[in-house]
Chain A
Amino acid sequence: MPLVTIDDRQVEVDQGTNLIEAGLKVGVQIPHYCYHPRLSVVGQCRMCLVKVEGMPKLQAGCSTQVMKDGMVVRTDTPDVKEAQRAMMEFLLVNHPLDCPICDQAGECALQDYSFKHGMATSRARFEDKRVYPGRERIPLGPTVVLNMNRCIQCTRCVRFTAEVAKTGELGFLQRGARAEIGTFPGRELDNDLATCVVDICPVGALTSERFRFAERVWYLDKKPSLCTGCDVGCNITLEHRRGQIKRYKPRFNPEVNDYWMCDYGRATFERYGELPRLLAPRQVKEGRATVVSWEEALDTFHHRLRSRVEGAIAFLGSGFLTTEEAYLLARVAEQLGSPHRSVWTAPSRPYHIPNPQGGVTAEDAAPNRRGAELAGLLAGEGALDAVRLLAEGASEAGVLVVADSDFGPAAHDPETVARLRRARTLIVLGWADTPLARAADLALPVATHAEKDGTFVNVQRRVQRFRQAFPPPGEALPAVEVLAALLRRLDPTWTAATASAVFARLAAELPAFAGLTWQGLAATGAPLPEAEAVSA
């Protein structure tokens, strides 16, 4: 591998690596706008100009590749600094500088590089700024809004639609200082990945219809999480303010979603605000729904499981359960000797997220059917499984435990709810107060995925971990805590009561998860051991 020296730091890189990437390996950040690792290199913004020894002119870091040993690069010479200052000046000559009302403020590459490489004053007259009249708030499609005045013509968005989404809705129109971004007349920017152009837009030209004016970004708290829209399991950064989720943004994972995620997934958190929330344990007493304490609720739960008169004890899980929750539910079923455990998920539209290996395509409309099944929620022959419960009703069940209350569209369908209600006792866990929860004898409030820790197993059979972003509201608890408390009532020797402890147990016990550790999943997850693959 050729050796390159950047600002006196030496590094070996693959032949053909460009200087921006080589710099990152030794901690040298070369500023850039138009370069993106997944888009073609166009060398347009000229922000990444660096000094390459032996070359008379400054070279663009994005388009200069390390081809052989001995290349010497400097990013801190006076002429490089001057070029960076000049590019910043040029980019701001026509920029509206409307940061106070711009959604990008706080996460804007123009602001960042102005601070680092720019000048404090302007030599151009403010009134001379070029404007695109009538192009300040153009909806390019249902999810993306364009303000042409802020655009720096880096064409990342154009290249994204052409090269990644492969839909090609956007084009570079006009030329020179009048050049602009736009769609073909009568066409919209409307594809599953459309909002990714907002993520890669380095400035405030493209903003998200959903997030626009929702929050100043510096008020947002950010946690690594996972999208629950389907079983692709896009890695995301969950951004919230005091427990109000404002935005999902893709988090880089080259094995799964790369830099991208779909527009459907970005909107899934809205469901947490749309459905009424179950905030305290609720038990039907003498025909009336009554709020009870957790102690009482768990005692009731325990009692109903132990003292049934006749009929099966059935467990209907969903693809929204974490692997740990599913495992605990399966342990409960085992304690009671019940084979009636299954998972129900709706099929998903085949959302396709590209990545360097080709991409990942959705199958289920929930993130963790595979994990839940591998953790033990898999019905044996002749068991009272999800298909039978939903189609025929639960009249054979003495007790039916459903987790969770929003397991799919069926949880809102009065006929399905009535069929499940045929169980003598109906116990429902969930974060949402759905028609199903309202029909239950006992409804237990649990955390949303934003409010707990856990793992999901995606369509690639990759285990991925997400973190609690904020605590659950009201009396709601992470379902792991609820199920662990119940399990302790059934089995006094049981100790594991956190997601990490439960994961350690299941990894030790289940061959499908052998060798995996909670810490090992921290960054980008890990594939399930191949040898133990069980067809899910």
Chain B
Amino acid sequence: MPNIGFLGEPVLLKNVGKPAALTVDGYRQGGGYQALAKALAMQPAAVIDMVKASGLRGRGGAGFPTGNKWSFVPKEAKQKYLTVNADESEPGTFKDRVLMEEDPHQLIEGSAICCWAVGATVCYIYIRGEYVEAGDILERAIEEAYAKGILGKDVLGSGFELDMVVHRGAGAYICGEETGLLESLEGKRGQPRVKPPFPAVVGAFGMPTVINNVETLCCVTHILDRGPEWFKAIGTDERNTGPKLYAVSGHVEKPGTYEVPIGITFQELLDLCGGMWRGPSGDGPARQLKAFIPGGASAPVLTAADRHIKLDFDTLAKAGTMLGSAAVMVMDETASMLQVAKRSAKFFNHESCGQCTPCREGTNWLEVLLTHAAHGEATTQEVDLVPQVAKQIGGNSLCALGDAAMMGVGPIVEKFRDEILAEVRAAATHAHGNGNGRRAALPVLQGA
């Protein structure tokens, strides 16, 4: 069983650790599939209104209001699709995996509700290839749902026809970008499309397509079940509502998936995780917080001074960062910010699809610069070039991956510049002292 925790009543994670919930009967015992039955008795437009009223915003990263997204789908189209984005690949993010492995019917139910609301008759669950077990569990659950009349020709006896298919990706970050996902789903090279047109108008196979994150659709199940007012009552304000999963990793005592009201402060979340790490033995002094990334590798880093910030969409945006996928990565005083920046740059360089100039060339340049720095071979000017290069990627790229690289790498170097320069100098001295004589030490000292 994965490490999980709650603040208040668990809703999304209530079935974690209950193997019975993997079956339709077990899921029904906990009240499952009542929300779907309720939705099928409503007009689709009323379902959309209900989701709109709940204030639910997308849990994948961009935070787009879900009800609005659904309402953009043209009603007259002959064929519409729902594509569940289960390509959870933002570094540090593992919340959707828990949902799919522990409670697949919750996702199936939420997806079916969405399909009814927008008039989609086919639902693709695009899951990253590495999630082998989650994919298997979903496939078994879908098979049983067909057998029990929850999917197929006649959903719960309503006459609504719905097919659901698990489609496994081959493991590319870019296929989590919604149009890259669609290209991959269509069997093409996974690279983003020019927008507009947006997928709600021209999506999978040229037809209107809603693309929602796993957690978003799981929330829909409970909004139908308990009503939008219940959902809205949870959270910071009416733009930041509902229960939220945070995937906490790094130097904390109990890393794991936490379900808390959206907008909890970082410090409260940290306390829920047992505070900062106490070392491998578990009884040392708690480490000092140096930095944390609030929303996956794409989100600008925050420092210990920001520890009381509310972890919701708008507060984080105001602070120049973002909630993103709510993957909270915590770093203590031993973390090398140079290595963090370099690893991040390496990730984005590796995952850039290569079609647009700034992302293809810029992410590579970032990694080159930071690799030099890590070897003690970079001048101060080259270290300062990192945020500059990052800024000329961001805003200019074809899709959000370029922006992600800008936000994920640049601010680390900006906010921890002195520390990183000291690291570069130390590495240079070390390299020099070892006599392996990489060409470098002097320019760094001169540049500084």
Interface residues of A (CB under 8 A from B): 41-47, 49, 57-58, 60, 63, 82-83, 86-87, 89-91, 93-94, 123-124, 128, 130, 152-153, 155, 172, 174-179
Contacts and interface: CB of A to CB of B under 8 A. Distances in A.
B351 A176 contact: yes
Contacts of A42: 194, 355
B19 interface: no
Contacts of A45: 356-357
Contacts of A89: 392
Given A58-B396, A93-B365, A86 B355 contact: no
A153 B395 CA distance: 20
Nearest to B394: A57
B439 to A, nearest CB: 10
Given A63-B194, A123-B385, A175-B353, A90 B398 contact: no
A58 B395 contact: yes
| Majority-rule SS of A interface residues | loop
A447 B448 CA distance: 72
A52 to B, nearest CB: 13
A87 B357 contact: yes
A176 B350 contact: yes
17 contacts: A42-B355, A43-B356, A45-B356, A46-B397, A46-B398, A58-B395, A87-B357, A87-B396, A93-B365, A123-B385, A153-B357, A172-B354, A175-B352, A176-B349, A176-B350, A177-B349, A178-B354
A176 B364 contact: yes
Contacts of B358: 46, 86-87, 90
Nearest to B399: A43
Contacts of B191: 175
Contact of A153 (B351, B355, B362, B368): B355
Given A60-B398, A176-B352, A179-B355, 20 more contacts: A44-B357, A44-B398, A46-B356, A46-B357, A58-B395, A58-B396, A89-B392, A90-B365, A91-B357, A93-B364, A123-B385, A172-B189, A172-B354, A174-B354, A176-B349, A176-B353, A176-B363, A177-B354, A177-B360, A179-B360
B396 A153 contact: no
Contacts of B350: 176
Which of A47, A90, A152, A176 has the most chain B CB atoms closer than 10 A to its own CB? A176
Contacts of A176: 349-354, 360, 363-364
A187 B254 CA distance: 55
B136 to A, nearest CB: 28
Nearest to A128: B368
B314 interface: no
A94 B363 CA distance: 12
Interface in B110-163: none
A175 B194 contact: no
Which of B349, B354, B385 has the most chain A CB atoms closer than 10 A to its own CB? B354
A172 B189 CA distance: 9
B332 interface: no
A63 B193 CA distance: 11
Interface in B349-396: 349-358, 360-365, 368, 385, 392, 395-396
A94 B397 contact: no
Closest 4 A/B residue pairs (Cβ): A179-B354, A177-B364, A86-B392, A90-B361
B357 A90 contact: yes
A175 B354 contact: yes
B367 to A, nearest CB: 9
A443 to B, nearest CB: 59
B194 to A, nearest CB: 4
Given A58-B396, A176-B354, A41 B194 contact: yes
A125 B176 CA distance: 33
Contacts of B385: 123
Contacts of A63: 194
Contacts of A46: 356-358, 396-398
Nearest to A86: B392
B174 to A, nearest CB: 8
Nearest to A84: B396
A306 B277 CA distance: 114
A155 B355 contact: yes
Nearest to B351: A176
A43 B368 CA distance: 26
Nearest to B192: A43
B194 A177 contact: no
A94 B398 contact: no
B357 A152 contact: yes
Interface in B168-186: 172, 174
A329 to B, nearest CB: 57
A107 B210 CA distance: 46
A206 to B, nearest CB: 18
A94 B361 contact: yes
Contacts of A58: 395-396
A486 B191 CA distance: 68
Nearest to B392: A86
Contacts of B363: 176-177
A166 to B, nearest CB: 17
A46 B392 CA distance: 12
A274 B385 CA distance: 57
A63 B179 CA distance: 16
A18 to B, nearest CB: 11
A172 B398 CA distance: 17
B355 A44 contact: yes
Nearest to A155: B355
Which of B349, B356, B357, B365 has the most chain A CB atoms closer than 10 A to its own CB? B357
Contacts of A152: 357
Contacts of A44: 355-357, 398
Nearest to A90: B361
Nearest to A94: B361
A176 to B, nearest CB: 4
Contacts of A49: 396
B355 to A, nearest CB: 5
Interface string B387-413: 000001001111000000000000000
Contacts of B368: 124, 128
Contact of B364 (A91, A123, A130): A130
Which of B356, B361, B368, B396 has the most chain A CB atoms closer than 10 A to its own CB? B361
Contact of A124 (B365, B392, B397): B365
B395 A60 contact: no
B288 to A, nearest CB: 36
